[in-house]
Amino acid sequence: MSIYDHFSQTELDILQARAERIARVTDDAQTDDVITGLTVNLGNELYVMPIDSLVGIHKEVAITPVPCVPTHVTGVANVRGHVIPVLDLAALLHVPGNEVERGSIVVAAEGNISVACQVETIGEVRNFESSELTPMPNAGEHAYSPYLRGILAGKYTLIDIEAIIHDPTLVIDEAVT
């Protein structure tokens, strides 16, 4: 007796279709020609965060403000028992717009370093062709942020999460006397 004997043919067809869909997503994610990312909104702009750097998405997390930190540091949050810094991604990237309460955080990690990025809204996970990535346009004397890798599909800006995590200028390590 097989484990599939108790399924109807319709149920077996559904299971087969699901297995094929999962196999396609896995194949796409392993291709170097595809960038898989989570779309997010900051102000009126659309961004993509590479999915391979992300470890979680959380809504309505309490953020505790921390005094004497730069404007792009919103505070800290307790996420599943770990206290992690929360960055205001819009402030870090100098995104113009009104000051609204950003209700969602996206947690990214690289090695043993974790950081949460506060965003306005979270979109969907999308695949982009690597060939769609165009360099950031030249802004004259104002250089674009070193945390941006380029433009995807003509409207999404690809964020370099690794550059944010490993930027030594973002480390706040001052001894309190």
pLDDT digits (tens, 9 = 90+) for 29-84: 445 689 999 999 988 899 999 999 999 999 888 899 989 888 888 899 988 888 99
For residues 53 and 17, membership in a common domain is answered with no
Alpha helix positions (H), 31-140: 89-92
* Residue 53 resides in a domain: yes
Judge if 47 and 97 occupy the same domain.
Answer: yes
Q: Enumerate residues 6+ apart whose C-beta is below 8 A from 149.
A: 133, 136, 158, 159, 160
What is the domain range of residue 5?
1-30
Helix (H) or strand (E) holding 100: none
Q: Is residue 75 located within the same domain as residue 119? A: yes
Query: What's the domain count of the chain?
Result: 2
Averaged over 104-117, what is the pLDDT?
89
pLDDT band at 102 (very low <50, low <70, confident <90, very high): low
**Does residue 174 register a pLDDT over 60?**
no
pLDDT of residue 79: 86
pLDDT for the residue numbered 31:
53
Please report whether residue 122 resides in a domain. Answer: yes
Q: Within a 13 Å sphere around the CA of 177, how many CA atoms are in the beta-carbon half?
A: 0
